[in-house]
A and B are shown apart, each in its own frame.
Chain A
Amino acid sequence: AQSVSQHNHHVILSEAASLELGCNYSYGGTVNLFWYVQYPGQHLQLLLKYFSGDPLVKGIKGFEAEFIKSKFSFNLRKPSVQWSDTAEYFCAVNGGGGTSYGKLTFGQGTILTVHP
Chain B
Amino acid sequence: NAGVTQTPKFRVLKTGQSMTLLCAQDMNHEYMYWYRQDPGMGLRLIHYSVGEGTTAKGEVPDGYNVSRLKKQNFLLGLESAAPSQTSVYFCASTQPGPSGQFFGPGTRLTVL
Q: A residues touching B (Cβ–Cβ < 8 Å)? A: 4, 9, 32, 34, 36, 42-46, 49, 51-52, 90, 92, 98, 101-109
Known: A43-B103, A101-B48, A106-B42. 13 other contacts (CB 8 A): A43-B90, A44-B90, A46-B100, A49-B99, A90-B42, A101-B56, A102-B33, A102-B94, A102-B99, A103-B58, A104-B33, A108-B42, A109-B42
A-B complex: 4 closest residue pairs judged by Cβ atoms: A106-B42, A46-B100, A44-B103, A51-B98
| Alpha-carbon gap, A77 to B31, bound state (A) | 30
Interface string of B19-58 (1 = CB under 8 A from A): 0000000000001010100001111110010100000101
Cβ distance B38 to chain A, nearest Cβ, rounded Å: 10
- Is the CB of B80 closer than 8 A to any CB of chain A? no
User: In chain B between 64 and 110, which residues have their CB closer than 8 angstroms to a CB of chain A?
Assistant: 90, 92, 94, 96, 98-106
Chain B residue at smallest Cβ distance from A108: B42
A102 adjacent to B105 (CB under 8 Å): no
Chain A residue at smallest Cβ distance from B43: A106
Cβ distance B102 to chain A, nearest Cβ, rounded Å: 8
B42 adjacent to A101 (CB under 8 Å): no
| Alpha-carbon gap, A52 to B98, bound state (A) | 9
Question: What A residues does B102 contact at CB under 8 A?
Answer: 46
Question: What A residues does B96 contact at CB under 8 A?
Answer: 98, 101-102
| Alpha-carbon gap, A59 to B48, bound state (A) | 27
Cβ distance A18 to chain B, nearest Cβ, rounded Å: 24
| Alpha-carbon gap, A34 to B77, bound state (A) | 28
A106 adjacent to B106 (CB under 8 Å): no
25 of the cross-chain contacts (CB-CB < 8 Å) are: A4-B42, A9-B40, A34-B100, A43-B104, A43-B106, A44-B43, A44-B103, A46-B100, A46-B101, A46-B102, A52-B98, A101-B31, A101-B56, A101-B96, A102-B31, A102-B96, A102-B99, A102-B101, A104-B33, A104-B101, A105-B59, A106-B35, A107-B42, A108-B40, A109-B42
